[in-house]
Structures are given as structure tokens and as C-alpha cells.
Amino acid sequence: MTGESASRSTDEAGDARSLKARWSALWKDLKANPGGPKMDRRTLVVLFSAPILMTLFYYYGRTNFFKGNLQGWVGENWTGPTWEYLDLVGYGYWATASLVLRIIIPLLIIAVVLRESPRDWGFRIKGSMGHAPIYLGLFLLIAPLLFLVSNWESFQQKYPFYDRAYLGGYHFWVYELCYFIQFFSLEAFFRGFLIFGLRKRFGYYSVIIMAIPYCMIHFNKPLSETLGAILAGTILGVLALRSGSIYLGVALHFAVALLMDVLALWQTGAL
């Protein structure tokens, strides 16, 4: 080996050691988290997996993805392009994607990656029913307001989301089942996985952290609904932490949504 080659090898080895030392120092600094509490695996897993799952759902889990990429294929190969329930299949896809990305995968992360019980993440009923009167009171407070706004033409044109729900029968009930699965998944992800996953580190601040992405998924909706999502999400989040369960929140959220659909159909004479 020439002197020049030996010198180059020495420089490369020195660069590698320097890079390793820099990376080691950076990693120690990240773990120490200067200015804040020491980082923990549980919080990092939740904070990294949540935006990934939300992104996958936004791009591949919604009905517009099904209509633009899958509905034509389903119509040609399975149901026929004129099948009366073809549009309803899109809502089944939406519900299934929500179930997988917002419940099943988070539960696998909880049980397999973090090795914790889902009961400690809001998936329990025991001990929560004492809070039922609060949820019932909220529903009774909201119901008259919904009755008033159901007179608005804009409300009647928007709900239900599925255009053929007014036909009743399978059109209405299968859609509402899909709607329920979506709300169950929504509550499980935002009021369960996010809030209970972050509460050990942030306490009630986890509710405010959750409210940020929860507000953002409403950005394609009217301003009033998006702003209302901040308040509603915060209230449901606080109640979930206090009760230790997501299930009463699921019941309240879906009851409100179902009432909105029923009122819209009733006001238009479909019921």
C-alpha cells in the first residue's frame, strides 16, 4: 500500500468514527430531550404511527378513492355496472378501511408492539357507566338544536351522505351500519389510541394534542363544523379520560349522526 493510499484509508476511518460519534451524540441528545421529559418508547410509537395511519386512510381509505379507482372494476367484474347497490359498496369499503386503519392496526400496536392491554386504552365498559347521565344530557342538549337546523335546505341536501338512503330498506340500514363502524373506528383512534396512548406523558394535554389532527380531518367541511369539531372532540376526549372508556362516546357520536340523517329524511318527506 502506498503512502497516499494509507493516508486515504486513515482519513476514511477517521471520518467514519467521527460520523458514528456525531450520531451517538445526537441519539443521546434526543433521548435526553433537553428542555422536556425523557423520551419514552410508548409516546414515540403513538406519535409516529398515528400520522402514518391517518395518511394511509386519507389517501386510500375514503369513498372518493373507491369511486375513482375501484368502483369501475367492481362493477365490471363482480356486480355489474348498473347494480343498484354499487355506490353502497363504496361506503362498505370506507367502513372496512376505517376498521383496519383505526382499530385493528392500533390494537395490534397496543398488544404486540407495546405489550399492553387494550382495556387501558379505553376499550372497556366496566366502571364507565356512572358517566352515562353526562352523555345522555349532552344528547338531550344537542337534539333540539339539530331539530332547528334540520329545517335548513343546506342541511337537508348534505345528510345523509349516501344519496340513495332515502329509498329505505337495505339502502338506509346498510349505510347506517357502515356509518356506525366509521364512528366506532373514529372514536377508537382519536379518543382511544391517541389520548390514552399519550396520557401517561401529557395527562389532559393529550386531549388538546388529539384535537389538532381531529380538527384537520374536518378541513373539507364548513367552517362552523370544523370549529365545532375542536369543541366536540375536546369534550369527548375529557369524558373518555374521566370514564376510562371510549364506548359511551361512540354511542353519543353515532346517536347524533343517526338523528341528523333521520331528521334530514323526515324534513324532505322521505320518512
Chain segment 64-105, per-residue pLDDT in tens: 999 999 998 888 877 777 788 888 999 999 999 999 999 999
- Work out the pLDDT band at 222, boundaries 50, 70, 90: confident
Give dist(CA 250, CA 229) in Å, integer: 15
| pLDDT of the residue at 162 | 93
Average pLDDT over the chain reads: 90
Lowest mean pLDDT among 21-25, 29-33, 117-121, 161-165: 29-33
| Integer-rounded Cα radius of gyration of the chain | 24
Q: Are 48 and 41 in contact (CB under 8 A)?
A: no
- What the block records as the C-alpha cell of 137 is 344530557
Lowest mean pLDDT among 13-17, 74-78, 119-123, 218-222: 13-17
Give dist(CA 262, CA 159) in Å, integer: 9
pLDDT for residue 29 is more than 80: no
- The domain limits of the chain are 37-267
- Work out the pLDDT band at 140, boundaries 50, 70, 90: very high
Contacts of 76 (CB under 8 A, 6+ apart): none
Give dist(CA 91, CA 62) in Å, integer: 8
Tell me whether residue 64 is exposed, middle or buried, using C-beta atoms within 10 angstroms of its C-beta: 0 to 12, 13 to 18, 19 or more: exposed
| pLDDT of the residue at 7 | 53
Tell me whether residue 61 is exposed, middle or buried, using C-beta atoms within 10 angstroms of its C-beta: 0 to 12, 13 to 18, 19 or more: buried
